[in-house]
Each structure stands twice: as structure tokens, then as C-alpha cells.
Amino acid sequence: MAESIVVHFIDTEIEKVEKAFMEFSEVIGNTWYVPSKNDYSIQIYPYKGYLKEYDSAEKLEVVRHLGSEPKFSFCIELRRLHQKEACNITKILIMVKLEGFNFVVDDSSDKIWKKMEIMNNQNSFLSKYSH
């Protein structure tokens, strides 16, 4: 089982984001496994459900925080078996590896996180997943 968050990007090329993922993961097809496929804590893959799965209010909320419609999105699944490690890896990914990109994170509950909010509230970000 896993918990999922979605990272929505603007103003960048998808290849640059994929390259950031490749620096610390094993890639199979278009899925990145961290640290490896055999014993991963998180998996990352392109998320195509924004237009289909988000209702109108959710889309407006993403656009309000991002400034426009996302150019592309990735889902990050945090494996429950490695919950604490998965949260720590995801925080490092978002705060360090993706630092130079414009994005927001939908934590799959009721919160859209801007990059600066994550940096300023590291203990709150993903806290619902890190029991």
C-alpha cells in the first residue's frame, strides 16, 4: 500500500525534471524507484489524471497556487512499509533536487503546498504520512 502526492510543474521542460529524478533512483520504463526497484521507499511516475480526476474546484485551487495550468505533473507514491524513510526521501527530493523548478505539491488531502511553504514548514509537510 502507498500514499500519494502530486507535484505539478510550470515553466520547465519535463526532461530536466526527469534528469533530477535519475540522479538518485533506479528507472524502469517511465517509473523511478528510490532507492531501487527491489526495495523502494518511493516511486515516481508521470501523472496524467489532472484533467480527469480533479474536479473544477480542485483545478482552480492548483491554478491559484501555481499561477497557471500545470505543464505536466508527477505522482510520488510513499510506500507505507517504509513510511518514515519515504517521507524523509520525499522531503529531500522536493527541497533539494527540485529546488530550481517552479511547482506546487498536492498532498492528496486538502492542501496545496507552494515551494516556500514547504521550506518554511518542513515539520508540517507530509506529517500526516509520517506516523
What are the pLDDT digits (tens) for 75-101? 999 998 888 899 889 999 998 899 899
Q: From CA 71, how far away is CA 67, in angstroms rounded?
A: 11
pLDDT reported for residue 1: 59
CB 128 within 8 A of CB 111: no
**CA–CA separation, 74 and 122 (whole Å):** 20
Q: How far apart are CA 7 and CA 72, in angstroms?
A: 9
The rounded distance, in Å, linking the Cα atoms of 56 and 20 is 31
Indicate yes or no: pTM above 0.85. Answer: yes
Cite the DSSP H helix spans in the chain.
14-22, 50-53, 56-66, 83-92, 115-120
Average pLDDT, the chain: 90
Q: What is the DSSP letter of 19?
A: H
Q: Which regions of 18-69 does DSSP assign to beta strands (E)?
A: 26-28, 31-34, 42-46
DSSP tag of 128: G
Given this model, what pLDDT does residue 70 score? Answer: 96
pLDDT in tens, 16-66: 999 999 888 999 999 999 998 998 999 999 999 888 889 999 999 999 999
